[in-house]
Amino acid sequence: MREIKAAVVSQPDMVVVGEGDYRGVDLLLELGRRTVDVLVLPPDEDTISGTISHVFSEFPSITVLGLGNEGRPASLYQLQLQVNELADVSPASLVEAIRSAVLDA
């Protein structure tokens, strides 16, 4: 994590606004106290998917960087609005589009 912090601090357009070992509700409370664009989760985060879903439910515009363990890749998580234009607006086509959207979710 030190290398990542050093890399961020060296950027003129980035600022580290806080550090800590926050988990669960404490993490959500801390995020509510600060203006945060990106949350970096450490590689030892056991429940990263649960943490991310809670963060997004409270702070949908935040980006989460989940770091991997020892050489494993990191992952960047963002909620994004997806728009799919529907060319065919027949009732059967709309029903199929609804079914497809539910199955893909």
CB atoms within 10 A of CB 62: 17
Give CA–CA dist 38/75, Å, rounded. 12
- Tens of pLDDT along the chain (105 residues) come to 677 788 888 988 888 888 888 888 888 999 999 888 999 887 665 667 788 889 999 999 999 888 777 667 788 889 988 888 888 888 988 999 998 888 876
Q: Judge whether 58 and 66 are in contact, CB under 8 Å.
A: no
Domain extents for the chain? 2-80
pTM of the model: 0.71
